Structure 1
Amino acid sequence: MSHSIHAVMFDLDGTLLDTAPDFVVVVNQLLSEQQQPNLADDVIRAGVSNGSKALIKLAFGIDETDSQFEPLRQRLLELYLAHNCVFTKPFPGITELIQTLADNNIAWGIATNKPAAYTLPLMADLNMQPPPASVICPDHVRNTKPDPEPLFLASTQLGCTPQEIIYIGDHKRDIDCGRSAGCITIGVTYGYLEKNENPLNWNADHYVDSANEIWPIIQKYLQH
């Protein structure tokens, strides 16, 4: 397990940040605007990692072929942009982990399928310290996760090989991305798991139930 670990990259929603509380508000706000009953918090929470299209399908039971689908999705995004950092915060243990990484001269960054228009204002509002050394959004690549391109770009920006990166995520697409890139992967089970989903099927190198369990795993790779 002897590696030179240069950086730790995180998925955003459900891994680094608990963004679900703000999505609960805006999805139910949109439902109320459409005179529809609200959804339970846990139902919305389970769908957050799959993006705005999945949330519209979940909330209204329609798909992209419906003429109201895209207007509803755009309205959801509009509501979210105005409410994307009201209740959102890092998961327990993340702030301390980032400081520990800094103390050990390990860079950190984000590889997300969340567009930059929402990711960058969110990160600016949170002002996490030290700031991420790399933030990769769909706007920056041709192919998004599960394609490995985001982590290839991150390795270029960070000046290291993908093998020197640990990638952490709460969804199979994250682990597929990391594995395809050649990174060490950690699957988190505290994120936004869909009903009946088994994280062991992701084939991550490691799994954690809490962000507090991540640093001990990283340490193992630092021991020579």
Structure 2
Amino acid sequence: MKAVLFDLDGTLIDTAADFIRIIQDMCREESRAIVDADLIRTQVSEGARAMVKLVYPELEVDDPIFLAHRQRFLDLYGDDIAVDTDLFEGMYPLLEDLESHHIPWGIVTNKPRWLSESLLKALNLTERCAVLVCPEDVKHTKPDPEPMYLAAKQIDIAAEQCIYVGDHPRDIDAGRNAQMYTILAAYGYLPLQYKDDLKAWQADCIVHNVAELHQLVRKLVNI
């Protein structure tokens, strides 16, 4: 393996605390029942729509009122994108290890580019990240392999020589569809409906913390 690609939320960066803060504040502002933090965490990888739906379960997702709430959520998040957000514990040493051995690392995410770029800038990762592929860059997002192939092309490394790490079945499917070596990050924001049978995701390997991930990656890239 010659490169490591990550999903963003729940894999590389622990963003849940900021999402939890914003969703719970929205609940308080409208005197709604406070959504449990652990439940919000399971919906992070499903995107803004799924998290906002926890606050307004009675609204259809195409309802203009729901869309307005979703936009407000995104605006609040964009304004304070890294208040309580940081890399997962142990991830800084992993990235530094890759960089010191000239192994490129990058991100393939379904998070909108404006938010992804803002997040990387806030964490001083922009210059360190070799490639960032977002939904706006492709016609078909994960689980389609198109973004995976684009990332591999941009770093000039064959897809089958890339590792992809993710915490959602679509991440693993996208990696497998592109013939990448897939690692399931079981420390991430596993969706409720899929978390009880991780082997069914058919990842090449499962890791339960970043220390395990670091050890496995070192072996795979031969450092």
Same fold by TM (over 0.5)? Answer: yes
- 2:106 counterpart SS class: strand
Question: For residue 71 of structure 1, what is the aligned residue in structure 2?
Answer: 68
Is 1:158–2:155 an aligned residue pair?
yes
Question: For residue 186 of structure 2, what is the aligned residue in structure 1?
Answer: 189
**Compared CA separation, residues 66 and 222, structure 1 to 2 (3 A):** closer
Question: For residue 11 of structure 1, what is the aligned residue in structure 2?
Answer: 7
Question: For residue 144 of structure 1, what is the aligned residue in structure 2?
Answer: 141
In 2, the alpha carbon distance for the partners of 1:23 and 1:111 equals: 20
In 1, the alpha carbon distance for the partners of 2:52 and 2:221 equals: 43
CA RMSD of aligned residues (A): 1.6
Per-residue deviation, 1:172: 0.3
Q: Deviations over 1:167-223 (max 9, x none)?
A: 000010100000001100000110012335222211000110011112322233345
1:51-200 residue pairs with structure 2 within 5 A? 51-61=47-57, 62-128=59-125, 131-195=128-192, 197=195, 198-200=197-199
Per-residue deviation, 1:27: 0.9
> Which range moved further: 106-115 or 35-44?
35-44
Question: Which residue identity is paired with 1:18?
Answer: D
In 2, the alpha carbon distance for the partners of 1:17 and 1:185 equals: 18
Of 23, 27, 34, 2:30 maps to: 34
Q: Deviations over 1:80-120 (max 9, x none)?
A: 11121100000011100001111221100000000011110
In 1, the alpha carbon distance for the partners of 2:127 and 2:62 equals: 44
**Compared CA separation, residues 210 and 129, structure 1 to 2 (3 A):** farther
TM-score under structure 1 normalisation?
A: 0.93
Question: Which residue identity is paired with 1:205?
Answer: D
Question: For residue 217 of structure 2, what is the aligned residue in structure 1?
Answer: 218
**Compared CA separation, residues 212 and 78, structure 1 to 2 (3 A):** same
Per-residue deviation, 1:65: 4.0
In 1, the alpha carbon distance for the partners of 2:70 and 2:126 equals: 33
Question: Which residue identity is paired with 2:202?
Answer: N
Question: For residue 206 of structure 1, what is the aligned residue in structure 2?
Answer: 205
In 2, the alpha carbon distance for the partners of 1:138 and 1:194 equals: 20
CA contact (8 A) 1:162 1:181 kept: yes
Question: Which residue identity is paired with 1:82?
Answer: D
Count the aligned residue pairs. Answer: 220
TM-score under structure 2 normalisation?
A: 0.93
In 1, the alpha carbon distance for the partners of 2:27 and 2:199 equals: 34
Per-residue deviation, 1:33: 2.6
In 1, the alpha carbon distance for the partners of 2:180 and 2:214 equals: 16
